[in-house]
């Protein structure tokens, strides 16, 4: 039988989990490298760029630097999205018990 109080509790718990998940995103650092490690970028789970490392050998080759930097940044942002999807799926898997109490 449908219990409105159970639904209210479920949504309250979901709000807390979302808030916790956002905090975990910011605490997570994802790093991507390109050019065999010549360029490295780090982003937090919220998608904020937090670090860039560039090998000195690339400072004279602007075109290569641009290509490797774009590649590393794009890979890092893909990792952020995959991480968010994974965490959301984990959270939603806990909803399978709704109504089975």
- In angstroms, rounded to a whole number, what is the distance separating the alpha carbons of residues 80 and 67? 20
- In angstroms, rounded to a whole number, what is the distance separating the alpha carbons of residues 75 and 69? 10
- In angstroms, rounded to a whole number, what is the distance separating the alpha carbons of residues 11 and 5? 10
Q: Is this structure's pTM higher than 0.85? A: no
- 22-32 per-position pLDDT tens digit: 777 788 899 99
- 38-56 per-position pLDDT tens digit: 999 999 988 899 999 999 9
Q: How confident is the model at residue 94 (pLDDT cuts 50, 70, 90)?
A: low
Other Cβ atoms within 10 Å of 88 Cβ, number: 13
Domains annotated for the chain, with CATH where assigned, are 29-94 (3.30.1310.10)
71: Cβ–Cβ under 8 A, 6 or more apart, which residues? 34, 35, 39
Looking at residue 43, its pLDDT comes to 95
Q: How confident is the model at residue 93 (pLDDT cuts 50, 70, 90)?
A: confident
Query: Which residue has better confidence, 75 or 14?
Result: 75
């Amino acid at each position: 039988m449908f219990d409105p109080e159970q639904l209210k509790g479920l949504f309250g718990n979901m709000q807390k989990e979302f808030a916790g998940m956002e905090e975990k995103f910011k605490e997570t650092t994802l790093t991507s490298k390109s050019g065999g490690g010549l360029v490295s970028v780090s982003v937090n789970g919220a998608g904020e760029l937090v670090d860039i490392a560039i090998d000195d050998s690339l400072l004279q080759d602007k075109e290569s630097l641009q290509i490797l930097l774009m590649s590393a940044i794009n890979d890092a942002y893909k990792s952020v999205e995959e991480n968010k999807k994974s965490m959301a799926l984990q959270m939603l898997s806990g909803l399978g018990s709704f109504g089975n109490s």
